[in-house]
Amino acid sequence: MQPIPPSTPGSRTRPGLTLEFNDQIVRQFVLATVVWGIVGMLVGVLVASQLNFWQLNFQTAWLTFGRLRPLHTNAVIFAFVGNMMFAGVYYSTQRLVKARLASDFLSSLHFWGWQAIIVAAAVTLPLGLTRGKEYAELIWPINIAVALIWVVFGVNFFWTLARRREPSLYVAIWFYIATIITVAMLYIVNHLSLPTSFTHSYPVFGGVQDALVQWWYGHNAVAFFLTTPILGIMYYFIPKAAERPVYSYRLSVIHFWSLVFVYIWAGPHHLLNTSLPGWLQTLGMTFSLMLWAPSWGGMLNGLLTLRGAWHKLRTDPVLKFMAAAVTFYGMATFEGPLLSIKSVNALAHYTDWIIGHVHAGALGWNGFMAAGMIYWLLPRLWNKPLHSVPLANLHFWLGTVGILLYVSAMWTSGITQGVMLNATTDNGTVLAYPNFLDTLNTIRPLMLMRVIGGGLYLLGFVLLAYNVWQTVRGAQPVNGTIEVFADDERPDAEHLGLVASVLNPPVVFSVLAVGFSCAWMFGREALSIIGLVGLLFCVAVAIAHFQSKGKAWAGWYERLLVNTAPFTILTFFAVVAGGLIQIIPTVLADHTANSEDRLQTPYTPLELAGRDLYVREGCFTCHSQMIRTLVPDVLRYGDYSRLGESIYDHPFQWGSKRNGPDLARVGIKYPNVWHLRHMEDPRSISVGSNMPPYPWLLANNLDAGILPAKVAVQRVLGVPYPNWTPAQIATRVNEQAKGISADLRAAGAYVAPEKEIIALIAYLQQLGRVGNPTPPATLAATPAPKG
């Protein structure tokens, strides 16, 4: 590859001035991408190995799977892909709008602020400081920093757009706009918390509400952090690298708007067959299926842009990586809707299949787009040819083989374990594999294959790092320049006012269609029928109107593209609709009336402390607390979970993966001493288990001093605790702890009442006790309603 000279100003002869882009910030983000990519993947290989070799937890609190798995996901999503996204957005935006980034200060603040956040995350997560919600684990002071730095990013970006010399917004910019506003919305809502101390807080939502908000966020973090910005990057770098025009502008329009609108609704597919209300599950599943075509629209526009350039794939590692990345994107976005079908989900959910699915996206789509982009940028940012193209090609093949090994191992593993867990004998009356460990130990070779696949992928990425190092070393950084002219300034003639932004055929028909759909789905009797008829009528009129006045639609859209603010507002409307319609009814509903007669009893203070230990150790990374409405789940774990049973859980702990069995009703199964021995040395009880030992829980004293503050916050959040004084709380803690300690002593094992393990046992032993005729005696004085 040869360095490309700065863009030529064409044959114009007018006097202009040379504009220098801020490519320094792009270089910084590129290098950060490489560093954090290696860190994130290295932790990934470690946690994958821990699942097979429990010894790799090193009996050390901060090295256990439960604490490192969130570090892996956060590092890969927010550090690796985050930095990559910022590099790509900043590089392409400056060129697409013909303007230098608005503020060098904001750019620098963005970079250093983001790196500081990553370092803070890398320190706090292993220390066990966590909010207990997936991809939203960071503690509240870091949350505030993330929100502020995201605003810095947004201001810097929109300010640059405001100073653009290119009147019209290219499709990549549409995706960046959607990314910035949607991530801000999702992040803020899902991180609303009430602090109990500087390092701990409880989310304001609880139980099913928390579950819904969490997966509205979690699913759309995938959509608007890992997908839309990368699609924007694809729309810039693939045509540049292939030197081919984008395949279809109208496909860009249709798939952009359908993608950002439909994505938001699909979050509940992470909660299929749980106690989430049925209508939300139906919405989640059907909208996930409707997401298939919009996602593939992006894949088509990426792959078909390569038409006429396929021969370049043989020689150019950039195009190799990008073509493979878009293919993996297509694969993952076909698999997503498939996994959202309730019956497929019944098999696949909680298994390795989901892990395989996300890694097809993360390794294939995100990782390969990052690699392609970096290989393309290096010669241009450092004015020096790439150190070694053969090494980049080797990276490509190592990566590809790595992904295929990883993904096929996880598919096989997930389906095998799912089938075994669901298998029954004796005319379907008894589980074929009642011992969970039988299913775990069957998939161990596949878990090993996953480590090998992931290791190969990491090795390939290390080659990239070496290539970057050799290219950058001793090279002269160079900033891109462009000639600009006075008449490049934007004309104001096409200004689109508020009325014209809203009152135009595409927006009016869309709003009517959504309104009628909602009337049909949520209205009663007459309203519902009006909704359905109105929807069909609206669609028919829209089609007729488009056929005769299609040019007016297209003309309006062209005008919209030269108006940033109306474009941004309409994008916000598109993404906010799904969330409002799903979340508001769930938050407003009288959840105590909706609890199916299984209203949770608030935890005793000791149990609450134990629950926070459960969250601290990341138990939710391997154990669900949600028995689904499926016969095999009920046969294995007991009666299916009801909404009311976790209604006071801040945060909810339904979980998303079963590396171990479900714990929703474990409290009524084993004696205290079982749990003690199991936490101390899991294999002394469960032969063949891969769970790490937790000896520090037996050594550490419980910090009970924080409990009054925690109970006070729980009261504010609506958990019906009496107004206990700190002394009353201390008395309750002591009484219950002494009881458990005495019981352990009677069983031949002595642990002092003030140890952490006592609190954890107290918590585990009440799981599933809701509705039990004999609640723990210590709760008798609690005036909480009994289910």
Partner 1 sequence: MPTMPPNAPVPPPPSSEDSLRPHVFDGIQEYDKRLPNWWLYTLYITIVFWVGYWGYFEWFGIGLNGPQKVEQGMAKIEAARLASVTTIDDASLWKMSQNPVFVEAGKVVFNSNCIACHLASMRGKGESPAAIGSDLTDTTWLNGGRPTEVYNTITKGILLKGMPTWGPVLGAKKITEVCAYVMSKHQEGEPIIPADVPPK
Specify the residue, 289 or 706, whose C-beta has the smaller distance to partner 1: 289
Helix ranges (H only) for 561-651 are 564-588, 605-616, 631-637
Write down the residue that tokens 């989430």 correspond to.
276
For position 309 contacting partner 1 by CB under 8 A, the verdict is no
- CB under 8 A: which stretch of 177-185, 222-230, 294-302, 448-456 binds partner 1? 294-302
Specify the residue, 163 or 715, whose C-beta has the smaller distance to partner 1: 163
Token representation of residue 288: 């996930």
For position 300 contacting partner 1 by CB under 8 A, the verdict is yes
The residue ranges of DSSP E strands in 376-480, in sequence order, are: 424-425, 430-431
Tell me the C-alpha distance between 230 and 203, whole Å: 30
For position 247 contacting partner 1 by CB under 8 A, the verdict is yes
- CB under 8 A: which stretch of 113-121, 397-405, 454-462, 542-550 binds partner 1? 542-550
Specify the residue, 167 or 195, whose C-beta has the smaller distance to partner 1: 167
Q: Least Å distance between CB 107 and partner 1? A: 19
> Is the distance from CB of 398 to CB of 359 less than 8 angstroms?
no
- CB under 8 A: which stretch of 111-119, 188-196, 273-281, 398-406 binds partner 1? 273-281
Token representation of residue 103: 């503020």
Tell me the C-alpha distance between 636 and 652, whole Å: 22
> Is the distance from CB of 41 to CB of 458 less than 8 angstroms?
yes
> Is the distance from CB of 399 to CB of 463 less than 8 angstroms?
no
For position 669 contacting partner 1 by CB under 8 A, the verdict is yes
SS3 state at 729: helix
For position 203 contacting partner 1 by CB under 8 A, the verdict is no
> Is the distance from CB of 776 to CB of 743 less than 8 angstroms?
no
Specify the residue, 250 or 314, whose C-beta has the smaller distance to partner 1: 250
Q: Least Å distance between CB 765 and partner 1? A: 11
Residues in the chain: 787
Tell me the C-alpha distance between 675 and 382, whole Å: 59
Select from 22, 130, 273, 600 the one that contacts partner 1 (CB under 8 A). Answer: 273
Neighbours of 777 (CB within 10 A): 10
Q: Least Å distance between CB 767 and partner 1? A: 14
Select from 13, 547, 701, 723 the one that contacts partner 1 (CB under 8 A). Answer: 547
For position 254 contacting partner 1 by CB under 8 A, the verdict is yes
Q: Least Å distance between CB 442 and partner 1? A: 13
Neighbouring residues of 125: CB distance < 8 A, sequence distance ≥ 6: 67, 68, 70, 71, 74, 137, 138
Neighbours of 188 (CB within 10 A): 14
Specify the residue, 165 or 715, whose C-beta has the smaller distance to partner 1: 165
Tell me the C-alpha distance between 58 and 80, whole Å: 26
**Number of residues located near partner 1, criterion CB under 8 A:** 82
Select from 15, 390, 434, 783 the one that contacts partner 1 (CB under 8 A). Answer: 434
Tell me the C-alpha distance between 219 and 146, whole Å: 19
- CB under 8 A: which stretch of 128-136, 281-289, 445-453, 618-626 binds partner 1? 281-289
Cis peptide bond prior to 651, omega within 30° of 0: yes
- CB under 8 A: which stretch of 142-150, 381-389, 408-416, 420-428 binds partner 1? 420-428
For position 289 contacting partner 1 by CB under 8 A, the verdict is yes
For position 287 contacting partner 1 by CB under 8 A, the verdict is yes
Residues 748-787 contacting partner 1, CB under 8 A: 748-749
Select from 135, 151, 438, 706 the one that contacts partner 1 (CB under 8 A). Answer: 438
For position 350 contacting partner 1 by CB under 8 A, the verdict is no
- CB under 8 A: which stretch of 390-398, 445-453, 546-554, 724-732 binds partner 1? 546-554
Residues 509-528 contacting partner 1, CB under 8 A: 520-521, 528
Write down the residue that tokens 């590129």 correspond to.
30
Tell me the C-alpha distance between 684 and 679, whole Å: 10
Select from 546, 557, 573, 696 the one that contacts partner 1 (CB under 8 A). Answer: 546
Select from 3, 120, 166, 735 the one that contacts partner 1 (CB under 8 A). Answer: 166
For position 686 contacting partner 1 by CB under 8 A, the verdict is yes
Residues 51-80 contacting partner 1, CB under 8 A: none
- CB under 8 A: which stretch of 127-135, 223-231, 682-690, 705-713 binds partner 1? 682-690
Residues 572-631 contacting partner 1, CB under 8 A: 628-631
Residues 446-505 contacting partner 1, CB under 8 A: none
Tell me the C-alpha distance between 343 and 326, whole Å: 28
Q: Least Å distance between CB 583 and partner 1? A: 18
- CB under 8 A: which stretch of 198-206, 386-394, 650-658, 669-677 binds partner 1? 669-677
Select from 72, 677, 710, 732 the one that contacts partner 1 (CB under 8 A). Answer: 677
For position 234 contacting partner 1 by CB under 8 A, the verdict is no
For position 565 contacting partner 1 by CB under 8 A, the verdict is no
Tell me the C-alpha distance between 91 and 353, whole Å: 36
SS3 state at 591: coil
Residues 695-734 contacting partner 1, CB under 8 A: none
For position 550 contacting partner 1 by CB under 8 A, the verdict is yes
What is each CA distance from 30 to 101, 183, 378, 712, 769, in whole angstroms? 17, 21, 9, 46, 52
For position 555 contacting partner 1 by CB under 8 A, the verdict is no
Neighbouring residues of 638: CB distance < 8 A, sequence distance ≥ 6: 627, 664, 665, 768
Q: Least Å distance between CB 394 and partner 1? A: 30
Helix ranges (H only) for 19-100 are 24-52, 65-74, 82-96
Judged on CB neighbours under 10 Å (0-12, 13-18, 19+), 500 is middle
SS3 state at 150: helix
Site string for partner 1, 90-109 (x = CB under 8 A): --x--xx-x-----------
Select from 426, 487, 590, 597 the one that contacts partner 1 (CB under 8 A). Answer: 426
SS3 state at 12: coil
The C-alpha angle with vertex 144 and arms to 143 and 145, in degrees rounded to 5, equals: 90
Select from 2, 13, 15, 278 the one that contacts partner 1 (CB under 8 A). Answer: 278
Phi, psi (degrees; rounded to nearest 5) at 170: -75, 155
